[in-house]
Amino acid sequence: MVQDMNSADLQELVKSSAVPVVVDFWAVWCGPCRAQGPIIDKWAEGLGDKVNVVKLNVDDNGDYATQLGITSIPTIVTFSGGKEIARGVGVQDEASLNDMLSKA
């Protein structure tokens, strides 16, 4: 299940997670973000506890998004071991999400 997070909780999760963390940076007003949502929700269902899939609303949590250099949304970022390992800008299909996760 994909959960919404705030910047502080996400930063802690990225640092401490024993499994990869996939973050969907989005905003309510963003049409492509609304298209990405169901794709990432469906994709996350099949992963179980092998990965943490979360969303971060950039309007409410712009500090962390800015720190990571997020300039376009949707942007999907995969972290492993506390470090960014893959990034996709724009709507990503399930194959692209799997490819990003495979780098973990």
User: Can 30 be counted among the known catalytic residues?
Assistant: yes
Catalytic residue among 5, 10, 30, 77: 30
Domains and CATH numbers, the chain: 3-102 (3.40.30.10)
Please check the confidence at residue 75 and state whether its pLDDT lies above 90.
yes
CA separation for the pair 25, 14 (Å, rounded): 14
What is the tens place of the pLDDT at every residue in 36-47? Answer: 999 999 999 989
Give residue 72's pLDDT. Answer: 96
pTM: 0.94
What is the tens place of the pLDDT at every residue in 31-72? Answer: 999 999 999 999 999 898 899 999 999 999 999 999 999 999
CB 75 within 8 A of CB 99: no
Catalytic residue among 5, 10, 33, 65: 33
CB 21 within 8 A of CB 14: yes
CA distances from 67 to 9, 23, 58 (A): 15, 14, 11
Q: What are phi and psi of 98, to 5 degrees?
A: -65, -40
